[in-house]
Amino acid sequence: MDKKNGILLVALGTPRSCETEDVREYLKEFLGDPLVIQKPRWLWLPILNGIILKVRPQKSAEMYKQIWTDEGSPLMSYTIAQTEQLQGLREDFDVRFAMTYGEPRIDKVIREMKESGVEDITVLPLYPQYSLTTVEPIIQQVKKIDDKINVIRDFHQIESYTDLLAESIREKWQANHYDKLILSYHGIPLSYVTKKKDAYEAQCIETTRLFVEKLGLKEEEYEHTYQSKFGPESHVQNAIHGSYDWVVTLSRSMDKPEEPEGGGIFFVDLNYSVISDLCERLSLGNRGYIYILDGRGGIVYHPQQQLIYSGLKQELISEVMESKKTSFLTGDGRLYTISRSEETGWIVVGVSMVSELMRRADAARGIYLLIALALFLAALALAYLLSNEITKPIKALERSM
């Protein structure tokens, strides 16, 4: 039976693979869209082609490798699954999907749907909120093919959507004693809202309002914020960093048997951003990084903490905790350098990709020793800086007593 009605789901897009060249091709199309980066073409394109596309693809490819699955790109596999599920629910419709950037292309899929006999197509961008940077590129691509095709601009206010969103959180929220629910949206430059009149921020705020009303949350029980800043320009409420006061608390007993009270416990709160800033200042190559463990192997800081907690990245924590050496080399070419702080009990770990730093096989032994020494010194420096930050209030207290 020919299906006269069709639904086309459209997601952002994804590289064909996590190889550098495929990532570069994808980023060139994505970041080259004048709706995504709204700067004068004469200014932006030389920056894009002369700097960004020479540096960013390799770094982005490494990040893609950390989330790539056996089925390929997570975005691609999830979009395929959504399409198949919707097709199962609406067998009277021809349901397909396309990507704004990359494959399958919007124009190609629409032509295929028309050739198969579909007369009435509805395009559903997979974004609840409208933005000039996400939905508008889809609208413009569709209109070039057929300006009579209906494109759904947003659905954040649809009650069935907010009901589903609330229900997905309610059970988990009620089952655990959480302090706060963080509602994080993708950020866009502030100028897009103030100068281009992008409705995105207002619709995100409305989404949060409708959502928390259904959950019955008090103002102190949730946080509305944004993430994913690109470039130096001011973004809409730039992320949580700097506005959410995370602290790491260290404690030490102060036993005084000669006093009736018997002493007490001394606490020091260290702002999490201090730790993060110190670690990010130290460079260990394009792919190297530093992380910190406490004395029991718990993560104090890791640049990819969320990936570890979600199971998308594994870290050699048990190997680090059991190691009696100051460094060890893994089979995949990662050099781990370990420094232990006596003051805090923390373990500072530097991870470097030896392949980035070793250029000639005949000099491998000498370079390895230099790398190990450099990483060891960097870890010692970080341990010293952290210890200094932590002991400042203690010393100040001693001077005042």
Q: pLDDT tens digits, residue range 226-275?
A: 876 555 554 454 444 444 456 666 666 666 556 655 566 666 666 666 77
Whether residue 289 is predicted with pLDDT greater than 90 in this model: the reply is no
Judge contact between 320 and 291, C-beta under 8 A.
no
Concatenating the DSSP letter of every residue in 95-164 gives: EEEEEEESSSBHHHHHHHHHHTT--EEEEEES-SS--TTTHHHHHHHHHHH-TTSEE----TT-HHHHHH
Specify the pLDDT at position 102.
Answer: 94
Q: What is the pTM of this model?
A: 0.62
Q: What's the rounded Cα separation, in Å, for the pair 284 and 352? A: 6
Specify the pLDDT at position 20.
Answer: 94
**How far from 191 is each of 135, 137, 151, 225, CA to CA, in Å?**
18, 18, 26, 17
CB-neighbour burial class of residue 307 (10 A; exposed 0-12, middle 13-18, buried 19+): middle
Cα torsion through 85, 89, 94, 97, rounded to 10: -30
Amino acid letter at 70?
D
- Collapsing DSSP to helix, strand or coil, 293 comes out as strand
Q: What's the rounded Cα separation, in Å, for the pair 64 and 15? A: 9
Cis check for the bond before 104: say yes or no (omega within 30 of 0). yes
Joined tokens for residue 258: 């000669």
Lowest mean pLDDT across 108-122, 228-242, 265-279, 303-317? 228-242
Cα torsion through 303, 309, 312, 316, rounded to 10: 70
